[in-house]
Amino acid sequence: MSSRVLTLLVLVVLPGAMFTAVSTHHLFPEWVVLDTSYQDDQTLAQRSTVSVGDFNVAQVAENCHRLDCFAEGGGVLLGGVITSIDIHSICILP
């Protein structure tokens, strides 16, 4: 294995794969919390004795978890793109 390939593997492929793995690790628990928050929001909406303030608080909590899932999903995609571009670079080396 040439030094260029080894350098690309260590400096780009490995960090990109680790970034994807860490983002995925944080995405799945947040997704579970988002689902729970969504179910709580739906349960709250079905009640007839809920104030608008309580409902707004539940919606804000759900939107916070939704935004967290979006950010972690973006991290998964970014790590995958970095990794795939570098693997392609290794494949086209002379």
| pTM of structure | 0.81
Residue 1 has pLDDT above 80, yes or no: no
> Contact, 55 vs 45, CB < 8 A?
yes
Percent of the chain with pLDDT over 70: 100
> Which residues, at least 6 apart from 69, have a Cβ–Cβ distance to it below 8 Å?
27, 30, 31, 34
93: left (phi over 0), alpha (psi -120 to 50) or beta: beta
3-state secondary structure of 39: helix
Residue range 19-29, pLDDT digits in tens: 999 999 999 99
> Contact, 61 vs 38, CB < 8 A?
no
